[in-house]
Amino acid sequence: MTDRPASPALTAALPAALSLLAGVTDVTSWLLLGGFFSAHVTGNLVVIAADVVSGRAPGIAALLAIPVFVVTAATATVVSRRLVLRGASARTITTTLLGAQAALLVAAAVLSFGTRASEDPTQPLAVVIGLCAVCAMATQNAFLHLVPPKAASTAVMTGNLVAGTIALVDLAVSRGASDSARARWLDAWPLLAGFVGGCLIGAAGAVAFSDRAALTPALLACILFAVIVSTHSTSASRTRTTDRLSKEGQS
């Protein structure tokens, strides 16, 4: 896959933006779909186990979340591999996967107008809304493993919290002299801040919009996608201009 480097600003900000989006999506589904995780999908295993031990029937959305997540991630991988074989750039794959993520969250938002999911999270349309969010998060996670040189964890914060804590301890012990600790902290804190901020935004959206709170992650995903497309277009335009001027200078 050949491509010119992405914008440094976009490369640095994108993981934090995706963490924020994951936090918004996860809190929205948790509050409106009866304690259902859409981003931290393995958390549904805890919910299922608790239901089984308590003698309750596990929710259909929780049961389907993990296989749906796996199938979606596999599909995103196949699509990306095929695009690579056709000579697609990293920019094309980025816009394809994150565009799909935005479309899935928009679908969840549109479907939310057809039901009051919070009143009965087991109804079919509510389950579909939750699984659309799961598919969106699976696509995001697949992107992070397929395109960037280093995969960031944007949906599960435990590892980031440990990495950030260790980095802070190392910085304290070295009195700020450890470059590696500083680099690890700079990697960890935007992800943590983004996810926490996303959780707060998602909770505020649930209070403000109730059953239409799926609009919040959908809107943010569309804004992020528009920024990515705009940044890539600007970068491509600058590259073409630079190449043209270089050719003119050589002639």
Q: Provide the pLDDT for residue 159.
A: 92
Q: Positive or negative, the Cα torsion across 36, 42, 43, 44?
A: positive
Q: Which amino acid, 28?
A: T
Q: Provide the pLDDT for residue 5.
A: 44
Residue 10 has pLDDT above 70, yes or no: no
Give one DSSP letter per residue of 93-159, joined into a string: HHHHHHHHHHHHHHHHHHHHTT--TTT-TTSHHHHHHHHHHHHHHHHHHHHHHHSSSS---SS--HH
* pLDDT tens readout for residues 42-64: 889 988 998 899 888 888 999 99
Q: What is the mean pLDDT of the chain?
A: 89
Q: Which helix (H) or strand (E) holds 192?
A: helix 179-209
Higher-pLDDT residue of 156, 80: 80
Mean pLDDT across the stretch 21-28? Answer: 97
Residue 235 has pLDDT above 90, yes or no: no
| Domain 13-231, classified CATH 1.10.1760, yes or no | no
pTM, to two decimals: 0.87
Alpha-carbon Rg for the chain, nearest whole angstrom, is: 20
Q: Provide the pLDDT for residue 2.
A: 39
Higher-pLDDT residue of 250, 183: 183
Contact call for residues 129 and 65 (beta carbons, < 8 A): no
* pLDDT tens readout for residues 127-152: 999 999 999 999 999 999 999 988 88
The domain locations on the chain are 13-231
Q: Provide the pLDDT for residue 4.
A: 46
Contact call for residues 9 and 190 (beta carbons, < 8 A): no
What percent of the chain has a predicted confidence (pLDDT) above 90? 73
Contact call for residues 34 and 121 (beta carbons, < 8 A): yes
In this predicted structure, which of 52-61, 206-215, 236-245 has the lowest mean pLDDT?
Answer: 236-245
Task: Please state the length of the chain.
Answer: 251
Q: Provide the pLDDT for residue 65.
A: 95
At 181 the three-state DSSP class reads helix
Residue bearing tokens 């935005």: 102
In this predicted structure, which of 67-71, 97-101, 224-228, 240-244 has the lowest mean pLDDT?
Answer: 240-244
* pLDDT tens readout for residues 79-118: 999 999 999 999 999 999 999 999 999 999 999 999 999 9
Residue 165 has pLDDT above 80, yes or no: yes
In the chain, helix, strand, coil percent, each to 5? 80, 0, 20
- pLDDT band, very low/low/confident/very high, at 156 (cuts 50, 70, 90): confident
Q: Which amino acid, 23?
A: G
Kindly report the number of other CB atoms within 10 A of residue 197's CB atom. 15
Q: Which amino acid, 165?
A: T
